[in-house]
Structure 1
Amino acid sequence: MMKKIYKLFYIVGFINIGFMMSCSEDILDTKPLNGYSDVDVFSDASLLRNYVNGAYGTFRTPFRDENTFTDGLTDNAYNQHGSAEAQVRRYNQGEVTRDNGESVTFSLWYHSYTYIRRANLFFEQIQGSPINENELTTMKGEMHFIRAYNYFQLLSWYGGVPLITDTFELGQDSYSVDRSSIEETVAFIVEELDMAISQLPSKSSVLDGRASMEAAMALKGRTLLYAASPLFNESGDQSKWQAAMEANREVMDLSSVSLVDMDNWGPMFRGENDQEVIFRRQYSQQNNQGYGVNVWLFPNSNGGWATITPTQDLVDSFELVTSGELPEESPSYNPQEPYENRDPRFYETILYNGASFKDGTYDPYLDKQEPDNQDLAGLDSRISPISPHNASRTGYNFLKWSQPSVGEFDGNTGPYIFFRKTEFYLNYAEAQIELGNEEEARNAINEVRRMREMPDINTSGQELMEEYRNETRVEFVLEDHRFFDIRRWMIADEVLDDPAMGVEVFRLSDGSFEYNYDFTTQANRQWVDRQYFLPIPFEEIQRSGGAIEQNPGYQQ
């Protein structure tokens, strides 16, 4: 049964206007509208459009803060310094408790329910609205999509949550709520998305960054994939994999978007190509990223802070382009010439020793004979004369998402992509593997790999599953996938209980390089099973009078 939310929402005074993630119209503008009542807002098309636009503020991106890439919580990356270093380390060291979990989620619980409340009020107040039905239908679709997105975020982090569809009224006898099950939460999200799909126009008919039919289909596909996965599907119910397969096939078959080739893969993350993009936050000159992702990712010698950097484990997950083998499995791999003949995505994702960057090269090396000699070290090394405290501690930096043509503090205008078509080929493949349809799975994976200029795979059984999981890993670095994949597959004890490793690079007297792979970046990573779900904020449990049950492993 749907519950009600204990917080009142006041419109009189102001409305947030304009989180419309699109080019020149993509301006976050809060405009006071003193004198407008809630009756005015919900009966006037322009005011209501502004109200709906403000709801797009729910789509937070990792560009908003230096540490909100969830890859830092995984085996893909290492986080150093910055405002959220403690939160990242807290998770990596198994120290999340009922009282500090929201520091890891960046207050997701409160953020999501704030926007859920906004959607709930919308649906309450538009009853009998005089606004043109076609215009109102589109706005309804947007708000169903936005409410579903927030519940999906909550599901992904916490499991089943209170399903709230109304606002509380003053004088109610009780404000207590309880949690819905995972199955009930998923069912509600899917119901919301089915409504959105029926009400939203196609992507070609909406401004960039607005909800579309395709975006709602994409969120439905991802939701059902998660719902079928071991973390959310303890019984292994095959019907859930069937539903996931069908929903993701529908997105895979969309004609309005198509897979990009490697020539356009890197440019896609700089906003230069949107061929396969289904839904993104597009920044603009008027609404840029502020400090932006260049600051978080650039090497120290280019003014960056290297806040999140690749681990050696991630680097080793990029196969050899010639054979499709992982480096550790290939007899032709030379660990002293490690960056030759790698998956083309590697060169668009990672900055490695000697890689071209801006007007020079990326140089994290130390001198072999005098490793403490600053004058002989590379400018991107940890003893560089240029901001050595901002140098990478893993020997690598991320290239993906950065805009090398823009200065580190000039305000990036590149996009953040929430959904793109490749995901749904791979989601479909995962569901088909789980259903025992391996040929269909290989076909979908290989279609992606051909576009990435990688050889086909022909494995089966557990080896096929491992191939699939590695494919998703290298394809979606820094796209907010790895953290949720590790958890939903329930493999965290296998991949998150080891130290974060990097590489130590030494330049020899003849100008060649020697690579030391025994360099430990963070030794004290530790996995604990309770962190498969984050804790419900303790104050919410208290506010509910104990009706909300805490997740396992955390004190109620």
Structure 2
Amino acid sequence: MKIRIIYSLVMLLVFTACVDLDLNPLSEGSSENWYSDETEIEMSLNDLYRDVFWSVDEDQWTDDWIYRGTTNSITGGTMTSEDGTVGTWWARTYKVITRANTLIQNLDEITDEISENKLNQYKADARFNRAAQYARLISHWGDVVFSSTIIDLEESFTMGQTDKEEILQAVYDDYDFAATYLPVSYGNLENQHATKGAALAMKARIALYMGDYAVARDAAKACMDLDEYVLFSDFGKLFLSSTKNSDETILVIPRSVELDVAFTDCKNYITRNSGGWAAKDPSWELLCSFLCTDGLPIDESPLYNPKSPFENRDPRCTETIVEFQTKHLGFIYQPHPDSLNVFNFNSGKYVKNNDTRSNAQYASYNGLVWKKGVDEDWSDDYKTDPDRIIIRYADVLLMYAEAKIELNDIDDTVLDAINQVRARAYKVSADDVASYPAVTITDQAELRKMLRIERRMEFAFEGIRYMDIIRWKLAEKVLNIPNYGMLDVDDLREKVINPGLWFFPDTPEIDEDGIADFTSMYNAGLIKLLGLRTFDASKQYLWPIPSKEILINENLIQNDGY
């Protein structure tokens, strides 16, 4: 059973910086008189699930992404302790921790007003949220300030960091408590918080991030053994705003255009023919990472043709990136510079093609646009409200497989977990091995490579790739590779189109990490350098502590390099 989380109060409270501190939000009265009945407790719990408290890592921080020729503070190597994302994430995370600690302490003081079972469920919910926030802190910052109790303002300005391994154990304890006392499911789909499965899944995730593979394996397996989740039958439809309450989603934050909790950056993703800008796009590296239908990478498969790069590819390729000459958002999508007009299905007429750079110089710089989750409603006032998926069952299956691979405990359950995810993409049963390229290898190194490619194909545009390249220590490699795109129109015609080399002039080599190498095409003058990424491995695997926290607390030690 999936998790549905309702919207509720707007409260403000932060753990540190005095300018943001609001110990008694107006919506709650005061700490002394709140939590007096179940309604008030549930309102406080509801608030912990607000959309702003559950930000996910951005794909723009990875090699799956281009934004024309620009970089950001992570891909440009310019992140500092003044960075806006750093400060916002830190403050919001500690807001939730403070509220959770306050709620837990007040619940401990309730004696007879609420049943013990209900109190334990409330505590479990609060501890789940606290664990999720501390997990974010240690995965992004390492050692951080830790407290499981309410602290006063003066004390908060004197606390130093706690070792991340000690905090990790506290996170495990919170998730274990949550898994013990939270229900497997809720009867009322409109009023659900975290469940037992969510606690187990999120425990597996932080354990995997921290390299604690035995814990990750056991937590993922316990979640699987609940028999509560199944893979959604249609991978492409899973991410649409019209798909709610999927049996695959374990933890989601719902959004609503009507309630003004929506995704509003639609224009950067939708095509120019549909009224967008097509500025934030999939990278060529992502396109080249999808295997062919024989299970081989593009540089090994006889099925791959660089002139038709979407053909004979894993189905997730064309569910993630719009295939050329197909219908998308009411128009045929075709970035070819000689396709000056395209068919408009809404009017039944051919119209000027603004998705080719021949007509619009700011059309996609590499010809690619996102399809995953993008639907007609993205053009409705440029707001949309698909669920914000925090974790889903496919991730649990692949986390279980990865943990077992890293433990070199490779058996049929590992292959089955991977094949369930892959077979779903082909819309067949995992047992139907003749209908998809089932994984059969058992060598640890080869299976590790396959698992990592599988995760990239499965989770593109979901905020998963960033922590994957961080924990695999691949960021220093993939974020120091340039962004490439198409030549300018005149050169493109002369060097690529006229010689018959459209779309890709050649097949890039794919290395041992599944990364495409476009160097030879660039050196031959067949593609254009869009921008240079920069990642400093000496510091960027952790984020800097916000400067204002360092300034007000002399006991905080800044992470190396910042």
Contact 2:256 2:262 (C-alpha < 8 Å) held by counterparts: no
Q: 1:366 aligns with which of 331, 337, 353?
A: 337
Letter of the 1:472 counterpart: R
| CA positional deviation for 1:509 | 9.0
Residue 394, structure 1, aligned to residue 387, structure 2: no
Contact 1:291 1:408 (C-alpha < 8 Å) held by counterparts: no
- The 1:368/1:350 distance shift into structure 2, 3 A limit, reads closer
Q: 2:74 aligns with which of 81, 86, 91?
A: 91
Matches within 5 A, 1:505-524: 514-516=503-505, 518-520=526-528, 522-524=530-532
Instruction: State the partner residue of 1:146.
Output: 129
CA distance in structure 2 between the aligned counterparts of 1:174 and 1:138, rounded to whole angstroms: 29
**SS of match in other structure, 1:522:** strand
**SS of match in other structure, 2:46:** helix
| CA positional deviation for 1:256 | 1.0
Contact 2:141 2:544 (C-alpha < 8 Å) held by counterparts: yes
CA distance in structure 2 between the aligned counterparts of 1:509 and 1:200, rounded to whole angstroms: 64
Matches within 5 A, 1:172-183: 175-183=157-165
Residue 250, structure 1, aligned to residue 250, structure 2: no
Residue 549, structure 1, aligned to residue 521, structure 2: no
Letter of the 1:330 counterpart: S
Q: RMSD of the TM alignment (CA)?
A: 3.0
Residue 525, structure 1, aligned to residue 518, structure 2: no
Residue 156, structure 1, aligned to residue 139, structure 2: yes
| CA positional deviation for 1:376 | 11
Instruction: State the partner residue of 1:200.
Output: 182
CA distance in structure 1 between the aligned counterparts of 2:549 and 2:463, rounded to whole angstroms: 26
- The 1:410/1:499 distance shift into structure 2, 3 A limit, reads closer
Residues 352-393 of structure 1, C-alpha deviations (whole Å, 9 max, x = no match)? 322320222112221399xxxxx99842123535xx54x222
| CA positional deviation for 1:293 | 5.2
Q: Percent identity?
A: 28
| CA positional deviation for 1:153 | 1.2
Instruction: State the partner residue of 2:400.
Output: 428
Q: 1:70 aligns with which of 40, 48, 58?
A: 58
| CA positional deviation for 1:449 | 1.5
Matches within 5 A, 1:300-311: 300-311=272-283
Q: 2:301 aligns with which of 323, 326, 330?
A: 330
Instruction: State the partner residue of 1:234.
Output: none
**SS of match in other structure, 1:244:** helix
TM-score (norm 1): 0.81
Residue 441, structure 1, aligned to residue 429, structure 2: no
Residues 14-58 of structure 1, C-alpha deviations (whole Å, 9 max, x = no match)? 24xxxxxxxxxxxxxxxxxxxx44343211322222222112126
Tell me which moved more, 328-337 or 123-132. Answer: 123-132
Residue 217, structure 1, aligned to residue 200, structure 2: yes
Q: 2:239 aligns with which of 262, 269, 272?
A: 269
**SS of match in other structure, 2:324:** coil
Residues 449-494 of structure 1, C-alpha deviations (whole Å, 9 max, x = no match)? 2222231123323222111100000100111111001010111222
Contact 2:16 2:91 (C-alpha < 8 Å) held by counterparts: no
Instruction: State the partner residue of 2:27.
Output: 14
Residue 540, structure 1, aligned to residue 549, structure 2: yes
CA distance in structure 2 between the aligned counterparts of 1:91 and 1:328, rounded to whole angstroms: 30
CA distance in structure 1 between the aligned counterparts of 2:486 and 2:455, rounded to whole angstroms: 24
CA distance in structure 1 between the aligned counterparts of 2:307 and 2:205, rounded to whole angstroms: 40
Letter of the 1:265 counterpart: F
CA distance in structure 1 between the aligned counterparts of 2:283 and 2:230, rounded to whole angstroms: 31
CA distance in structure 2 between the aligned counterparts of 1:536 and 1:39, rounded to whole angstroms: 32
Letter of the 2:337 counterpart: L
Letter of the 2:276 counterpart: G
- The 1:337/1:531 distance shift into structure 2, 3 A limit, reads same
Tell me which moved more, 178-187 or 301-310. Answer: 301-310
Contact 1:363 1:381 (C-alpha < 8 Å) held by counterparts: yes
Residues 265-284 of structure 1, C-alpha deviations (whole Å, 9 max, x = no match)? 11111142602111111223
- The 1:315/1:167 distance shift into structure 2, 3 A limit, reads same
**SS of match in other structure, 1:549:** coil
| CA positional deviation for 1:90 | 2.3
Q: 2:44 aligns with which of 45, 51, 54?
A: 51
**SS of match in other structure, 1:205:** coil
TM-score (norm 2): 0.81
Instruction: State the partner residue of 2:231.
Output: 259
**SS of match in other structure, 1:280:** strand
Letter of the 1:519 counterpart: I
- The 1:200/1:394 distance shift into structure 2, 3 A limit, reads same
Q: Structure 2: which 5+ runs fail to align?
A: 1-14, 341-349, 427-435, 506-520
Matches within 5 A, 1:1-40: 9-11=22-24, 13-15=26-28, 36-40=29-33
CA distance in structure 1 between the aligned counterparts of 2:529 and 2:57, rounded to whole angstroms: 18
**SS of match in other structure, 2:73:** helix
CA distance in structure 2 between the aligned counterparts of 1:290 and 1:482, rounded to whole angstroms: 23
Instruction: State the partner residue of 2:67.
Output: 79
**SS of match in other structure, 1:90:** coil
Residues 109-145 of structure 1, C-alpha deviations (whole Å, 9 max, x = no match)? 1110111111121122233325422443332222111
CA distance in structure 2 between the aligned counterparts of 1:159 and 1:464, rounded to whole angstroms: 29
Contact 2:252 2:390 (C-alpha < 8 Å) held by counterparts: yes
Residues 145-167 of structure 1, C-alpha deviations (whole Å, 9 max, x = no match)? 11111111111211121112233
- The 1:293/1:456 distance shift into structure 2, 3 A limit, reads farther
- The 1:474/1:211 distance shift into structure 2, 3 A limit, reads same
Letter of the 2:485 counterpart: G
Contact 2:98 2:150 (C-alpha < 8 Å) held by counterparts: yes
Letter of the 1:112 counterpart: T
Instruction: State the partner residue of 1:343.
Output: 314
CA distance in structure 1 between the aligned counterparts of 2:251 and 2:97, rounded to whole angstroms: 20
CA distance in structure 1 between the aligned counterparts of 2:273 and 2:44, rounded to whole angstroms: 44
CA distance in structure 2 between the aligned counterparts of 1:193 and 1:326, rounded to whole angstroms: 38
Q: 1:476 aligns with which of 453, 459, 468?
A: 459
CA distance in structure 2 between the aligned counterparts of 1:462 and 1:12, rounded to whole angstroms: 53
Letter of the 2:103 counterpart: F
Letter of the 1:450 counterpart: A
CA distance in structure 2 between the aligned counterparts of 1:279 and 1:499, rounded to whole angstroms: 35
Contact 1:298 1:408 (C-alpha < 8 Å) held by counterparts: no
CA distance in structure 2 between the aligned counterparts of 1:427 and 1:267, rounded to whole angstroms: 23
Q: 2:84 aligns with which of 71, 95, 103?
A: 103
CA distance in structure 2 between the aligned counterparts of 1:497 and 1:510, rounded to whole angstroms: 31
How many equivalent pairs are there?
495
CA distance in structure 2 between the aligned counterparts of 1:395 and 1:106, rounded to whole angstroms: 35
Letter of the 2:74 counterpart: Y
**SS of match in other structure, 1:478:** coil
Q: 2:108 aligns with which of 100, 114, 127?
A: 127
| CA positional deviation for 1:543 | 2.1
- The 1:406/1:244 distance shift into structure 2, 3 A limit, reads closer
Instruction: State the partner residue of 1:232.
Output: none
Letter of the 1:397 counterpart: V
CA distance in structure 2 between the aligned counterparts of 1:187 and 1:456, rounded to whole angstroms: 37
Letter of the 1:538 counterpart: S
Matches within 5 A, 1:222-233: 222-228=205-211
Residues 190-227 of structure 1, C-alpha deviations (whole Å, 9 max, x = no match)? 11111111221123435456211111111111011112
| CA positional deviation for 1:430 | 0.9
CA distance in structure 1 between the aligned counterparts of 2:416 and 2:73, rounded to whole angstroms: 40
